[in-house]
């Protein structure tokens, strides 16, 4: 442990500040650098690839240190934040030249993964949400905010699963917790890689009260106050751009948990982790960053209110019917910058001259946009037209005051236009005339001395000077020139006249910069008063952007308007998977219909691997999502109900986070659907039961189908390789068999990718293995074994001369005779095996078991027990 009494005053100051932020890298300002010391320096040098040096290196215990230039600090901060760390910025609070003793320093901002506001061009269309959680009486208060846009929302969640789902859906990187949050949930959040921060105390400010004035729930108030306290404590700046909180309920939108979002590749490609190849990628024809963010929010929260969906459809249809106006709007929107984040910069005080020029440029497009909107159907776009505010006063102010070519810095001058302020113009005139006088003085001195290379220059240390080479020093008159600096080949001097002009110029420069900065802050404060108007405008513009994007995509890919019904009828004719179609091309893609009237709840899908069963299922889910965000859909025609939830169990993968096997993941995701689905839900189950033994899997698959059919009545697509299950259409009246067609041609398998009525007659597993490139010898051997297993006489006699030795060794089980006929309720086919089963009591237990009243997990336990009895 560091002995603080032996530290220098500066290091004592550093350590005192560091002790207040033990979980953050401390960037400590020293002149033109931000320095890190001790453990921060060691770890920071590794993460940022900096050279590690030391302070007091001659002592027995040198202090490790490394630093970054202040002008490049943002890049280094971003690297650490993206890696999940916090950075405390410690600034010099006074001019070191005028400081008496140690320079005062203080933390001006704590940057964290959830409070980062500078997203960069690559993430312009992504929100960066900071979330917060409070707990009381078995419920969670859940709130989130995006500091860069001012978005603020709150809800009540009832269990750990809901909290995890909301957090992952928002892709939050940091969550702020209250003191009572259960440890098991904290552990779960850590497992998925979310940074945990704590805010135990709450400090209610007046600005927070304004944001929360419409909230009555005490738990929601608690979590919002906790979140805002954390933001104020870390950012230490004005939050005037934060919008009044919106209270939302997940149940008011189509529920799509993070597993389903992942399986359906809504926002992220499973293989690459990127946007390309996703539904978001397909639908994103937005022209503004704020439009891109709103599209993503709409995708993650599809509507369930029919009137809201129909309203969006009207906008999309109107845009489709108005090609030229839509093209004009798209062209105008390309000139509109990110109004939401510009408003945030104004509020934070981080806005510069260039940002204000971007704001002016963006607002200058709004009258054009309003004019084009006025040309559209007023019955549909009337509200948009009436609510669009061009904010002309802000445009006029920036036009009069800010230079179009402003520098990045707002303290170095040349930000404010001429003729905006009289006093600033006087200072500038003094500087201009002073420099002109310096040029005249230089020429005058050259003539007087006869030194043609005499020159007048300037540096920050010595100010203005007259420089004469040493070879010409003897030409200078005595007593007029006062030596200021000696160089290798020259001497620098000053004169009374030069000093007088220097004082005038430097005073004008210094006062000019100070005045210019003060004028800029006044302009910024006036713009700040218009933040709410800018945010309202941004909301309107981003909505128009998303709606025109839907229309553009619908036109480009030949989507149609779906008809919504309340009768639970689903009839999609020649539907298409929109993303796969875009990749393959419309001429190549084979469309398929999904027809499930009010009397059909389950489609049982069979067919070979790679034939398109999973694509068919995903196609339906994506069509539902597109319909319920108000977009048109990829089909020839579509009659659709409104779904309240989508549950998916697609793909086979272990859950690395929880360490659970594929089969356990299958069971948990299946159970989530069974426990929460309603008759208005959509369930997609892809080959349930493959993660365990064949008979266990078949038993579970059948029991799940029966349970869904008899109890849930949700629209369900269930794909399987268990062909025995196709017999269920005889006992389950609301189930239909369909299959994906395939055929053999010259010994090779040809996928038709066409869904047809009825069950598949083969699985074509060996043909698929052939396509995968397995060796011919292996495939021939597999064919021999398959032929034997499919033969009518499947009982094996080890003394039979009809079988080879290999067949005797490999095929030891008579599958038909040994199989438990759980699927057609027949008895075992051989007396010997029947006696064996009777002796175990399993047959009687099966007869007595009321499988319809049991959950899938109960059935699985029973099957396991029966198997153990048989094996004895």
- Write the pLDDT tens digit of every residue in 820-854: 333 344 333 445 555 555 555 767 777 666 665 56
Nearest to 572 by CA among 580, 584, 583, 560: 560
pLDDT category of residue 669 using cuts at 50, 70 and 90: confident
pLDDT, residue 763, reads 61
User: What average pLDDT does this structure show over 40-51?
Assistant: 96
818, pLDDT greater than 50: no
Average pLDDT over residues 11-19: 94
H helical segments located in 724-812 = 765-771, 776-790, 805-810
Inter-residue contact 699 to 867 (CB < 8 Å):
no
Distance CA 116, CA 175 (A): 13
Residue 131 three-state SS: strand
Sheet arrangement for strand 490-494: 455-459, 463-469, 490-494, 482-486
pLDDT, tens digit, for every residue of 215-248? 999 999 999 999 999 999 999 887 888 999 999 9
Burial of 816 (0-12, 13-18, 19+ CB in 10 A): middle
| More confident call, 328 vs 748 | 328
Q: Which CATH class is domain 122-252?
A: alpha beta
Confidence of residue 498 (pLDDT cuts 50, 70, 90): confident
d(CA 487, CA 153): 65
Q: Is it the case that residue 313 has pLDDT exceeding 70?
A: yes
- 284-391+531-556 belongs to which CATH class? mainly alpha
The pLDDT confidence band at residue 761, using thresholds 50, 70 and 90, is low
The three-state DSSP-derived secondary structure of 20-47 is HCCCEEEEEEECCEEEEEHHHHHHHHHH
* 422-524 is a CATH 1.10.1420.10 domain: yes
What per-residue confidence (pLDDT) applies to 772?
63
Packing angle of the helix pair 366-374, 531-556 (nearest 10 deg): 50
- Asked if pLDDT for residue 502 goes beyond 90, the answer is no
pLDDT digits (tens, 9 = 90+) for 242-285: 999 999 999 999 999 888 898 899 999 988 889 999 999 999 99
Neighbours of 78 (CB within 10 A): 16
**153 or 817: which carries more pLDDT confidence?**
153
Mean pLDDT for the stretch of residues 82-86: 94
Q: What is the pLDDT of residues 613-641, one digit of tens each?
A: 899 999 999 999 999 999 999 999 999 99
Q: What confidence category does residue 413 fall into, taking pLDDT thresholds of 50, 70 and 90?
A: confident
At residue 803 the predicted structure's pLDDT band, cuts being 50, 70 and 90, is: very low
CB of 707 within 8 A of CB of 673?
no
Q: How far apart, in whole angstroms, are the C-alpha atoms of residue 685 and residue 243?
A: 41
- Cα 370 to chain centroid distance, Å, stands at 31
Which CATH number describes the domain made up of 563-774? 3.40.50.300
pTM: 0.82
Q: How far apart are CA 593 and CA 756, in angstroms?
A: 9
> Is pLDDT above 90 for 132?
yes
Residue 40: pLDDT band with limits 50, 70, 90: very high
Residue 816: both structure tokens together:
């038909």
Mean pLDDT lowest for which of 30-39, 53-62, 120-129, 207-216?
53-62
Q: What's residue 372's pLDDT?
A: 97
Q: Lowest-confidence range among 71-80, 315-324, 728-737, 838-847?
A: 838-847
Predicted pLDDT of residue 830: 45
SS3 632: coil
User: How much is the pLDDT for 587?
Assistant: 77
Q: What CA–CA distance (Å, rounded) separates 78 from 260?
A: 31
Domain 4-111 belongs in CATH node 3.40.1170.10: yes
Coarse DSSP helix, strand, coil percentages of the chain, rounded to the nearest 5 percent: 45, 20, 35
pLDDT tier at 752, thresholds 50, 70, 90 = confident
Tell me: pLDDT of 768 over 70.
no
- The percentage of the chain sitting over the pLDDT mark of 70, rounded to a whole number, equals 85
Q: Which residues are annotated as a binding site?
A: 607-614
- Binding site residues for ATP, as ranges? 607-614
Provide the angle, in degrees to the nearest 10, between the axes of the packed helices 73-82 and 38-48. 90
Domain ranges of the chain: 4-111, 122-252, 284-391+531-556, 422-524, 563-774, 819-871
* pLDDT, position 506: 82
Taking 50 as the threshold, does the pLDDT of residue 800 lie above it? no
Cα separation of 849 and 544, whole Å?
59
Q: Which helix (H) or strand (E) holds 247?
A: strand 246-247
Distance CA 630, CA 543 (A): 12
- Show Cβ contacts of residue 503 under 8 Å, excluding neighbours closer than 6 positions: none
Question: pLDDT confidence of 771, banded at 50, 70, 90?
Answer: low
Q: Does 122-252 match 4-111 at the fold level? A: no
- 702-749: pLDDT as tens digits: 999 999 999 999 999 999 988 889 999 999 999 999 998 877 666 666
Structure tokens at 446: 């050259």
Place of tokens 């010409």: 472
Alpha-carbon span 154 to 141, nearest angstrom: 7
């Amino acid at each position: 442990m560091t002995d603080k009494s032996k530290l220098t005053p500066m290091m004592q100051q550093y350590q005192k500040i560091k002790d207040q932020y033990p979980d953050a890298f401390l960037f400590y300002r020293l002149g033109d650098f931000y320095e890190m010391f001790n453990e921060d320096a060691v770890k920071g040098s590794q993460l940022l690839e900096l050279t590690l040096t030391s302070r007091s290196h001659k002592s027995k215990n040198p202090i490790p240190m490394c630093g970054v230039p202040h002008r490049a600090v943002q890049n280094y901060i971003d690297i650490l934040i993206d890696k999940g760390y916090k950075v405390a910025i410690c600034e010099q609070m006074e001019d070191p030249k005028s400081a008496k003793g140690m320079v005062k320093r203080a933390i001006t901002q704590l940057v964290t993964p959830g409070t980062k506001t500078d997203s960069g061009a690559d993430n312009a269309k992504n929100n960066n949400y900071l979330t917060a959680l409070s707990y009381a009486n078995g419920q969670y208060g859940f709130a989130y905010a995006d500091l860069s846009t001012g978005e603020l929302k709150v809800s009540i969640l009832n269990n750990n699963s809901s909290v995890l789902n909301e957090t992952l859906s928002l892709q939050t990187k940091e969550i702020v917790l209250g003191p009572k949050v259960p440890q098991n949930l904290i552990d779960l959040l850590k497992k998925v890689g979310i940074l945990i921060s704590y805010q135990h105390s709450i400090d209610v400010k007046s600005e927070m009260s304004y944001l929360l004035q419409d909230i009555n729930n005490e738990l929601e108030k608690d979590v919002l106050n906790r979140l805002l306290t954390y933001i104020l404590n870390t950012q230490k700046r004005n939050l005037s751009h934060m919008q009044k909180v919106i209270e939302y309920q997940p149940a008011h939108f189509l529920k799509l948990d993070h597993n389903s979002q992942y399986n359906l590749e809504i926002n992220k490609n499973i293989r690459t982790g990127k946007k390309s190849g996703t539904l978001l990628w397909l639908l994103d024809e937005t022209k503004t960053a704020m439009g891109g963010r709103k599209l993503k929010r709409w995708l993650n929260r599809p509507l369930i209110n029919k009137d809201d969906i129909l309203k969006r459809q009207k906008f999309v249809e109107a845009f489709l019917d108005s090609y030229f106006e839509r093209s004009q709007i798209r062209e105008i929107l390309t000139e509109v910058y990110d109004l939401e984040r510009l408003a945030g910069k104004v509020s934070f005080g981080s806005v510069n001259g260039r940002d204000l020029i971007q704001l002016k440029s963006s607002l200058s497009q709004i009258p054009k946009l309003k004019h084009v909107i006025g040309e559209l159907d007023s019955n549909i776009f009337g509200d948009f037209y009436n609510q669009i505010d061009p904010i002309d006063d802000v445009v006029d102010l920036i036009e009069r005051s800010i230079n179009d070519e402003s520098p990045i810095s707002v303290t170095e001058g040349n930000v404010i236009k001429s003729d905006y302020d009289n006093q600033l113009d006087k200072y500038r005139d003094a500087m201009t005339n002073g420099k002109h006088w310096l040029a005249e003085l230089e020429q005058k001195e050259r003539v007087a001395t006869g030194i043609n290379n005499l020159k007048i220059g300037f540096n920050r240390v010595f100010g203005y000077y007259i420089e004469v080479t040493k070879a010409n020093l003897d030409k200078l008159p005595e007593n007029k020139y006062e030596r200021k600096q000696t160089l290798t080949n020259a001497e620098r001097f000053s004169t009374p006249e030069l000093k007088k002009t220097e004082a005038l110029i430097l005073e004008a420069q210094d006062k000019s910069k100070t005045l210019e900065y003060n004028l800029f802050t006044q302009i910024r404060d006036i713009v700040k008063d218009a933040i709410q108007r800018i945010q309202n405008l941004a909301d309107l513009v981003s909505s128009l952007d998303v709606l025109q994007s839907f229309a553009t995509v619908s036109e480009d890919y030949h989507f149609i308007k779906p008809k919504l019904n309340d009768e639970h009828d689903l009839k999609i004719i020649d539907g298409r998977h929109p993303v796969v179609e875009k990749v393959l091309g419309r001429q190549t893609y084979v469309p398929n219909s999904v027809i499930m009237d009010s009397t059909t709840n389950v489609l049982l899908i069979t067919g070979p691997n790679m034939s398109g069963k999973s694509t068919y299922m995903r196609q339906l889910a994506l069509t539902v999502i597109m319909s319920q965000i108000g977009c048109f859909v990829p089909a020839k025609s579509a009659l659709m109900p409104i779904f309240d939830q989508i549950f998916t169990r697609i793909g086979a993968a272990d859950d690395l986070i929880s360490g659970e096997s594929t089969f356990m993941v299958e069971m948990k995701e299946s159970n989530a659907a069974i426990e929460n689905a309603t008759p208005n839900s959509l369930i997609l189950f892809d080959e349930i039961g493959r993660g365990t033994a064949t008979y266990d899997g078949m038993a579970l698959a059948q029991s799940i189908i029966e349970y869904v059919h008899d109890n849930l009545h949700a629209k369900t697509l269930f794909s399987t390789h268990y062909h025995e299950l196709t017999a269920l259409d005889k006992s389950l009246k609301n189930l239909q068999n369909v299959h994906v067609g395939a055929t053999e041609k010259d010994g090779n398998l040809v996928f038709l990718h066409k869904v047809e009525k009825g069950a598949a007659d083969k699985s074509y597993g060996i043909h698929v293995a052939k396509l995968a490139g397995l060796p011919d010898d292996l495939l021939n051997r597999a064919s021999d074994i398959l032929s034997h297993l499919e033969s009518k006489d499947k009982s094996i006699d080890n003394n039979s001369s009809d079988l080879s030795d290999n067949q005797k060794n490999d095929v030891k089980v008579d599958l038909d005779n040994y199989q438990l006929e759980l699927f057609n309720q027949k008895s075992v086919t051989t007396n010997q095996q029947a006696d064996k089963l009777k002796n175990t009591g399993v047959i009687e237990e099966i007869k007595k078991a009321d499988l319809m009243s049991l959950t899938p997990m109960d059935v699985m336990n029973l099957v396991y027990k029966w198997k153990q009895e048989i094996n004895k």
